[in-house]
Amino acid sequence: MAKKGTVKLLPRETVLHVRDTCLCLAAQRAARRLARHFDQALKPTGLTNGQFSLLMALNQPDPPPMGQLAEFLAMEPSTLSAAAKVLERRGLITMERDPIDGRSKRLRISSSGVALMREAVGIWRQSHALLEAQLPPGAGQALREGLAELTTAALSGETVASHSSGS
């Protein structure tokens, strides 16, 4: 019988199995390390890797709807909105009312944002090339393809889960 106040933990084998096989944990750990790598590289621009990705997604003639942008970046709309406000305060983007749906907003990169992206993309290219050069030949492309397949599988899993839970 367990002592009062102690918790019966999962077997160590279970923890090791999850550590060694969980796709989500592996992706999260890799994503966090990559994020730190690119945050450090982009530090001279004052951008985080997430801000860089957001600005890159906005580098198009017509500003995308927030919902479409959130889906592309795999972000919750509220998280995207908070991130956009930081860039807006810096004058790197503007928020506009959606002409089709007045309740929604669209984000547009400003000329200051484009100028900063020109600097940031050079840093990103160099940092990305150095990182990818540390991988075996073809591993970067294989990883991108594998992550795309994993994303597709996770999306179909969400559909299955939502149907089986009755939502």
Which residues are within 8 A (CB) of 82 and not within 5 positions of it... i.e. 6 or more apart?
A: none
Asked whether the beta carbons of 120 and 45 are under 8 A apart, the reply is yes
Q: Evaluate if residue 167 carries a pLDDT over 60.
A: no
Q: Give the percent of the chain with pLDDT over 70.
A: 92
Q: What is the model's pTM? A: 0.84
The mean of the pLDDT values for the chain is: 91
pLDDT digits (tens, 9 = 90+) for 9-41: 999 999 999 999 999 999 999 999 999 999 999
Distances (CA, A) of 135 to 2, 50, 91: 48, 23, 37
Confidence label for 164 from pLDDT (cuts 50, 70 and 90): low
Region 73-83 average pLDDT: 94
pLDDT score for 104: 86
User: pLDDT by residue (tens digit) across 112-132?
Assistant: 999 999 999 999 999 999 999
At 112 the pLDDT is 97
Determine how β-strand 93-97 pairs with β-strand 105-109. antiparallel
Enumerate long-range contacts of 32-37, CB under 8 Å, 24 or more apart.
37/127, 37/131
